Amino acid sequence: MSAAIRRLRWAVPYLFLLPGGLWLLVFFVVPMAVMASISLQTGSLGTGYTLSWNFGIYPEAISQFATQFLRSFEYGFIVTVLTLLIGYPMAYTIAFRGGRIKNILLLLVILPFFTSFIIRTLAWKLILADQGFVLGTLKGWGILPGDFGLIATPIAVISGLVYNFLPFMVLPLYVALEKIDHRLVEAANDLYASRLQAFLRVTLPLSMPGVFAGSLLTFIPSVGDFVNATILGSRDTTMIGNVIQSRFLDFNDFPRASALGFVLMATILAMVLVYARLVGSDELTSG
Amino acid sequence: MTATTMPLTATEAPVADYRPPLRSRLSRLLLPVYTALAVAYLFLPIAVMVAFSFNNPRGRQNITWQGFTLQNYVDVWSRPDITDPMVQSLIVAVVSTIIATALGTLIGLALTRYRFPGQGTTNILIFLPMATPEIIMGASLLSLWVSLGVSRSLITIIIAHVMFNISYVVVTIRARLQGFDRGLEEAAMDLGADEWTTFRKVTFPLIFPGILAAALLAFALSIDDYVITSFVAGKTITFPLWVFGVSRLGVPPEVNVLGTLIFVVAFLAIAAQVLWQRRQARRQLVPSRAP
């Protein structure tokens, strides 16, 4: 190899980065900037937009859709807590008691998600239907009153979100739990810790990176989701995602929709940054 | 709990007869039973989807069980309104998977094998799309196309899918590369192989399982995407868009047929990959055991 090429070795990693990095720059970073600029423009799709630095759109849009914003963060929080409660014992069992079928169990957790997201959510609509085979049967046995219904309630939307984002919680939890050295738990037991104490003071703290990563991966998509609210919910369960989607695609109300999108993005990003401070960005990006 | 029951001497009872108290045996069963139930819960909608692919509904609504039929599996192939969106989805998934896997693998290699200024920024750039709600990525891309006056088509869908898949490919590749032994490459170079030969004969075969896993993930994410696609599709209709579109009127059983077929193909692809990796692992073990 010639000396000239050898001297250019420093450029190799940048050459590797270039195509993918440019793609992300042009189709992820630039669109964000465009969306920010559109939020400050006035006009309409027909007459064209002009940049008028209309910052007033932000407080206006936030106060107009405060209910949906708050509801989305409320649902996102409930969904994160529920997936953590449901997912932790699963990840714990697979990591510590899975034995030889560990990988098969892990695949079983992921496998359902290779079916279309929409079809899965539609299947939940069928399962939760007022006269479906679950509620219908329970009503037939007289366990539930005849007018009991779940569809179009917050419970239906939240259970759809919990189902759809559960693997995003289980997988990082599993990764964190799997790394734990069993001898640490044994040492705690040798030192007369009860099983509960050993769990609370050794296993749980060591699994915190998984709890953080899982919470983030569940919270972010559920706050921004609108599919579950559309299929399983009603007008009273509208989330901010529904508003942004319809403002963009049905109303062509681009400035307001962009402002809403930007506020959602900024709020979530602020939460991510706080999280990154807590666990370190390396932990975050290598998950 | 066990500390008080364990010190049984041989005179009291033979060890073989020792059985932990019922409560302790039940509590050991608690977690496995719970996990089995949780997995069953994950499969519940899949079971419903598969069951209703064999349903024989009268009218448009495929929501109550009317009777078993295989006819849907025949009829689906003469329903271009359903299969055409599927073909669009497959085109998008194949093309975007190939591009995203290539670009993502290069970034993964750069991040794991080199130390260079700007690495931290690159890490953040890779992480951000995964930390952004899909609706924001879809909405911002729509903003871009509208401001540029670009009409939305299959091309804009593919561009979007490559964009959101790159990060997942990088993360998957990087996880596989972390245990990579650089000594193997150095050994090849010491034995006179040039850089290209080393890459072809040593590096690539070693990282290939990672690339395959990343491609599978990218394909699965692409073929299933609804949210981002709904913003950048224009008049093009992919399978998830079509299903969502008709869901208010009633989903015909043929949709369940295609859903079931996708599930079966995904299952077979994953099973094949797992079996293949086991065989690879065994092949690596055998020579080291035999002297």
pLDDT digits (tens, 9 = 90+) for A98-144: 888 888 888 889 888 888 889 999 999 888 888 777 887 888 888 88
CB contact under 8 A, B133 and A21: no
pTM: 0.84
Asked if A241 contacts B115 with a C-beta cutoff of 8 angstroms, the reply is: no
Q: Minimal Cα distance from A287: which residue of B?
A: B171
pLDDT level of residue B2 (50, 70, 90 thresholds): very low
Rounded Cα gap, residues A75 and A84, in angstroms: 14
pLDDT of B4 reads 44
Arithmetic mean of pLDDT, A234-243: 90
Rounded Cα gap, residues B291 and B288, in angstroms: 7
Task: Say yes or no to pLDDT of B190 above 90.
Answer: no
For chain A, domains (ranges, CATH) are 65-286 (1.10.3720.10)
Beta-carbon contacts of residue B27 (< 8 Å; ≥ 6 apart): none
Q: Minimal Cα distance from A103: which residue of B?
A: B274
Taking only the tens place, the pLDDT of each residue in A48-65 is 777 778 788 888 888 889
Q: What is the mean pLDDT of chain B?
A: 84
pLDDT level of residue B285 (50, 70, 90 thresholds): low
Residue B99 is encoded by which pair of tokens? 């591009």
Asked if B6 contacts B24 with a C-beta cutoff of 8 angstroms, the reply is: no
Chain A residues near residue B230 by CB distance under 8 angstroms:
245, 249
pLDDT of A280 reads 57
pLDDT level of residue B231 (50, 70, 90 thresholds): very high
Arithmetic mean of pLDDT, A32-52: 81
Rounded Cα gap, residues A285 and B168, in angstroms: 11
For chain B, domains (ranges, CATH) are 81-251 (1.10.3720.10)
With b for 16 or more beta-carbon neighbours within 10 A and e for fewer, the B161-198 pattern comes to: bbbbbbbbbbbbbbbbbeeeeeeebeebeeeebeeeeb
Arithmetic mean of pLDDT, A242-250: 90
User: Which of B38, B142, B244 is closest, CB to CB, to A248?
Assistant: B142
Q: Which of A198, A165, A216 shows the shortest CA–CA distance to A96?
A: A198
CB contact under 8 A, B125 and A24: yes
pLDDT of A287 reads 40
